């Protein structure tokens, strides 16, 4: 096993993760500012997707652990050490955390790579950029203002104020563990809440290393807690816990639906960042060289394991065959390899169940009559016989009613669908249950603008794909989600709005005398 990353010299106080009885790193729960063993004493193994080796064990939390974490978060919420901090002081803590992320970005990237096998080149950028979430929301913390309302009632003064909600439960997927955590954690903390974080059972190590930086930054104990375990086993106790007032979930549509139903029973507020089947639409008047790169970025970056994957490529009929030829040429010399190698362009699929799902969909597509243009099989990569590598895969002759066009694969599988004109493109683009993102490629500005109005998705890119920013809202239409993360909209999700009425008239009218 390659040596595990250690905290860099900039953070000598960071605690080392201990080894367990198996001689592997052992990750415990993080509750009330302490790393603690799970109540049931059980752990489960985690596997490196490149080598297939088991490299660490993680606590298999249960209802008792969830309860302890929620109580710690509630106690911290009520404690003046956190509740008594001014919004400016909270902002300062968050900026300190941002600095610590910048100093430790290499370390965080290396642990996250070990966790989910993503390319180190991409992770380096992501981890450095992640500091911006804490700078941005730290800066926003003391700029959330209520208003004075000119009401139609004389003798009373009415104003509004925003308040934190309380304990927030954040549930994350495995594809981008720390950035997706930060999209929730940064606004939740800036708003003054306390949190219980539940990472995916496949990727938790980077988060359990990251919380050490939260500690170093000086956040009071219990403000941030982490419970690990199997979603279906202990997720329900977190979602239904009476102390949890809000749930922020990123994951698949099925888990999202279950969690949303559970949350509704106790009227918990939710944000849901779910899946997509995003169209990448190329018109005949597009700059085709750019559009080819955009199509490849859309579906094959991170091996297609992104929620915004442009998994449906809609091509105007006149350029259909030529464009597919260009795509195939572009992918000809693609390099697989270890994600830590800067030469590697395609990293493995992150988990074995995800690889099995991809293989299932490739089989289904062929059974439904789609034509396999390239890929459609595992890639064998020298030196990594157990690596979960999969070839970038392209299907043509896809019709929009096929499962491969309607369901999220979450892997490097592209469905190419032809269209005739603008109306046809809009009809096909919108004919799915999802509405997360869309790409539009055209040199005709008026057409580009028309399409941004007609395509139903939370994010639309014209002549680019995958641009995102801390400062911009992100979220889905339809089954792709509820609420927004990022930007000012992102922090409003973590605040309650209170309306306050103050009498300026000492005379309270007798309620039994009709006026
Ligand atoms: P998943 O739904 O299987 O799991 C997500 C998280 O939910 C995990 O932590 C899991 O343990 C937990 N979970 C599962 N069942 C639960 C339950 N009943 N109660 C509580 N928690 C439960 O998703 P995944 O496979 O980890 O991630 C891939 C999915 O995430 C894809 O569908 C992808 O589109 C989506 N995603 C969406 C966005 C976005 O911003 N819209 C971003 C990234 C990923």
pLDDT tens, residue by residue, 16-71: 888 888 889 999 999 999 999 999 999 999 999 999 899 999 999 999 999 999 99
Q: Looking at the domain assignment, is residue 372 inside a domain? A: yes
Question: Measured between alpha carbons, how far is 472 from 478 in angstroms, rounded to an integer?
Answer: 20
Same domain, 285 and 248: no
Question: Residue 74: which pLDDT band, with cuts at 50, 70 and 90?
Answer: very high
Q: How far is the CA of 255 from the centre of ligand 1 (A)?
A: 6
Same domain, 184 and 287: no
If one residue of 61, 62, 169, 173 were mutated to test the ligand 1 pocket, choosing by the most ligand atoms within 8 A of its CB, it would be 173
pLDDT at 176: 94
Same domain, 207 and 83: yes
Q: Looking at the domain assignment, is residue 388 inside a domain? A: yes
Percentage of residues of the chain with pLDDT beyond 90: 91
Same domain, 169 and 57: yes
Question: Residue 505: which pLDDT band, with cuts at 50, 70 and 90?
Answer: confident
Same domain, 331 and 287: yes
- Average pLDDT over the chain, rounded to whole? 95
Note if 170 is an active site residue: no
Nearest CA to ligand 1 atom 34: 275
Q: Is the shortest distance between the CB of 65 and ligand 1 below 6 Å?
A: no
Q: Is the pLDDT of residue 14 over 80?
A: no
Q: How far is the CA of 321 from the centre of ligand 1 (A)?
A: 36
Q: Looking at the domain assignment, is residue 2 inside a domain? A: no
Q: Looking at the domain assignment, is residue 13 inside a domain? A: no
Q: Of the residues 201, 273, 391, 493, which is catalytic?
A: 273
Nearest to 158 by CA among 410, 500, 460: 500
Same domain, 252 and 348: no
Domain encompassing residue 237: 25-274+480-497
pLDDT tens, residue by residue, 430-445: 999 999 999 999 999 9
Same domain, 241 and 362: no
Same domain, 433 and 456: yes
Same domain, 310 and 420: yes
pLDDT tens, residue by residue, 409-438: 999 999 999 999 999 999 999 999 999 999
CA–chain centroid gap for 430, Å, is 23
Strand partners of residue 390: 378
Q: Is the shortest distance between the CB of 250 and ligand 1 below 6 Å?
A: yes
Q: Looking at the domain assignment, is residue 353 inside a domain? A: yes
Question: Measured between alpha carbons, how far is 135 from 217 in angstroms, rounded to an integer?
Answer: 13
**Which CATH number does the domain housing residue 31 bear?**
3.40.605.10
Q: Looking at the domain assignment, is residue 4 inside a domain? A: no
Same domain, 56 and 178: yes
Same domain, 226 and 162: yes
Q: How far is the CA of 194 from the centre of ligand 1 (A)?
A: 22
Q: How far is the CA of 96 from the centre of ligand 1 (A)?
A: 30
Note if 261 is an active site residue: no
Q: Is the shortest distance between the CB of 232 and ligand 1 below 6 Å?
A: yes
Question: Residue 1: which pLDDT band, with cuts at 50, 70 and 90?
Answer: very low
Query: Which residue, of 414, 436, 462, is where some domain finishes?
Result: 462
Indicate the angle between helix axes 87-103 and 105-116, nearest 10 degrees: 70
Nearest CA to ligand 1 atom 3: 252
Q: How far is the CA of 251 from the centre of ligand 1 (A)?
A: 2
Nearest CA to ligand 1 atom 43: 307
Query: Which residue, of 436, 462, 488, is where some domain finishes?
Result: 462
Same domain, 328 and 252: no
Question: Measured between alpha carbons, how far is 229 from 357 in angstroms, rounded to an integer?
Answer: 22
pLDDT tens, residue by residue, 170-212: 999 999 999 999 999 999 999 999 999 999 999 999 999 999 9
Q: Looking at the domain assignment, is residue 379 inside a domain? A: yes
| Residue 34 structure tokens | 């302490």
**Which CATH number does the domain housing residue 320 bear?**
3.40.309.10
**With helix as H, strand as E and coil as C, how does 208-269 read?**
HHHHHHHHHHCCCCCCEEECCCCHHHHHHHHHCCCCEEEEEEECCHHHHHHHHHHHHHCCCE
pTM, two decimal places: 0.96
Question: Residue 511: which pLDDT band, with cuts at 50, 70 and 90?
Answer: confident
Nearest to 415 by CA among 245, 279, 227, 236: 279
pLDDT tens, residue by residue, 98-143: 999 999 999 999 999 999 999 999 999 999 999 999 999 999 999 9
Question: Residue 4: which pLDDT band, with cuts at 50, 70 and 90?
Answer: low
Question: Measured between alpha carbons, how far is 324 from 317 in angstroms, rounded to an integer?
Answer: 11
pLDDT tens, residue by residue, 234-261: 889 999 999 999 999 999 999 999 999 9
pLDDT tens, residue by residue, 394-403: 999 999 999 9
Please give the tally of structural domains in the chain: 2
Measure CA of the first residue to CA of the last residue in the chain; give whole Å: 82
Q: Looking at the domain assignment, is residue 8 inside a domain? A: no
């Amino acid at each position: 096993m390659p040596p595990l990353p250690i905290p860099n010299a900039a953070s000598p106080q960071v605690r080392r993760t201990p080894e367990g009885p198996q001689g592997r790193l052992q990750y415990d729960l993080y509750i009330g500012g302490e790393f603690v063993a799970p109540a049931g004493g059980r752990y489960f193994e985690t596997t490196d997707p490149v080598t297939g080796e088991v490299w660490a064990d993680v606590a298999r939390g249960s209802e008792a652990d969830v309860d302890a974490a929620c109580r710690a978060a509630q106690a911290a919420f009520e404690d003046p050490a956190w509740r008594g901090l001014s919004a400016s002081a909270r902002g300062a803590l968050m900026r300190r955390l941002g600095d610590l992320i910048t100093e430790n970005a290499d370390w965080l990237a290396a642990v996250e790579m070990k966790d989910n096998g993503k390319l180190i080149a991409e992770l380096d950028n992501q981890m450095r950029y992640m500091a911006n979430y804490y700078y941005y929301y730290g800066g926003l913390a003391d700029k959330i203002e209520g208003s004075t309302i000119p009401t139609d009632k004389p003798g009373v003064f009415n104003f509004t104020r925003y308040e934190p909600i309380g304990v927030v439960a954040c549930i994350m997927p495995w594809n981008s563990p720390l950035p997706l955590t930060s999209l929730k954690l940064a606004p939740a903390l800036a708003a003054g809440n306390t949190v219980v974080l539940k990472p995916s059972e496949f990727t938790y190590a980077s988060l359990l290393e990251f919380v050490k930086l939260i500690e170093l930054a000086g956040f009071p104990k219990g403000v941030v807690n982490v419970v690990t375990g199997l979603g279906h086993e202990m997720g329900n106790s977190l979602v239904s816990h009476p102390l949890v007032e809000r749930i922020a979930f990123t994951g698949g549509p099925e888990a999202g639906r279950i969690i949303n139903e559970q949350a509704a029973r106790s009227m918990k507020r939710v944000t849901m960042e779910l899946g997509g089947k995003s169209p990448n639409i190329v018109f005949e008047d597009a700059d085709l060289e750019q559009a080819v790169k955009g199509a490849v970025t859309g579906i094959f970056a991170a091996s297609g394991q992104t929620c915004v994957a442009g998994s449906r490529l809609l091509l105007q009929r006149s350029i259909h065959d030529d464009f597919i030829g260009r795509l195939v040429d572009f992918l000809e010399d693609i390099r697989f390899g270890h994600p830590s190698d800067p030469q590697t362009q395609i990293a493995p699929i992150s988990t074995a169940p995800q690889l099995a799902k991809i293989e299932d969909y490739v089989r289904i597509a062929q059974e439904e009559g789609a034509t396999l243009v390239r890929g459609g099989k595992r890639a064998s990569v020298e030196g990594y016989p157990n690596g979960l590598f999969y070839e970038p895969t392209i299907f043509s002759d896809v019709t929009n009613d096929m499962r491969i066009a309607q369901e999220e694969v979450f892997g490097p599988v592209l469905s190419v669908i032809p269209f005739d004109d603008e109306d046809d493109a809009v009809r096909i683009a919108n004919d799915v249950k999802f509405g997360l993102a869309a790409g539009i490629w055209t040199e005709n500005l008026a057409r580009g603008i028309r399409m941004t109005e007609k395509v139903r998705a939370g994010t639309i890119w014209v002549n680019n794909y995958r641009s995102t920013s801390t400062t911009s809202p992100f979220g889905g239409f339809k089954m792709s989600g509820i609420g927004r993360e990022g930007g000012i909209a992102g922090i409003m999700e973590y605040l309650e709005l209170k309306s306050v009425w103050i009498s300026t008239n000492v005379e309270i009218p007798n309620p039994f005398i009709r006026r």
